[in-house]
């Protein structure tokens, strides 16, 4: 994973996932990214699955007007959100919070990668922001 920031779209994997989202007309890519983590269960969670899910959660946050990242890397995502303004369902928001908890738990490659570096605290703060942005 080429990461330059602890933010949801601060890495190659998330940006690549975003290119797929802008081709969609609904939230099915968001739900698919969340479901991939949930369906992984307690098995070792691959960093790419987690990274895509965090990008999807940022999209939900943006749809609620609570996005945590706005920069050149989110320009197309921000445009998509404006064009597809919709309120995420309570079920989808609950999935998002469940996914955040899973990513921050044991057997998460993404957690391990961030804990190896100096930006672990900033990344964990980003997870808390995303959790708050998806809460009622």
d(CA 77, CA 70): 9
d(CA 15, CA 10): 8
**pLDDT tens digits for range 90-118:** 999 999 999 999 999 999 999 999 999 99
Instruction: Look at the block and give the residue holding tokens 């961030």.
Output: 114
**pLDDT tens digits for range 40-96:** 999 999 999 999 999 999 999 999 999 999 999 999 999 999 999 999 999 999 999
d(CA 2, CA 10): 9
Is pTM beyond 0.85? Reply is yes
């Amino acid at each position: 994973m080429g990461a330059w920031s602890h933010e949801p779209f601060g890495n190659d994997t998330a940006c690549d996932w975003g290119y797929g989202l802008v081709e969609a007309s609904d939230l099915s890519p968001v739900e698919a990214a969340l479901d991939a983590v949930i369906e992984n269960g307690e098995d070792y969670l691959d960093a790419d699955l987690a990274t895509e899910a965090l990008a999807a959660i940022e999209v939900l946050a943006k749809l609620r007007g609570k996005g945590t990242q706005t920069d050149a890397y989110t320009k197309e995502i921000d445009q998509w959100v404006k064009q597809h303004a919709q309120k995420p369902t309570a079920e989808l928001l609950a999935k998002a919070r469940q996914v955040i908890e899973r990513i921050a738990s044991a057997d998460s490659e993404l957690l391990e990668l961030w804990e190896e570096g100096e930006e672990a605290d900033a990344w964990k703060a980003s997870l808390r922001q995303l959790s708050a942005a998806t809460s009622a």
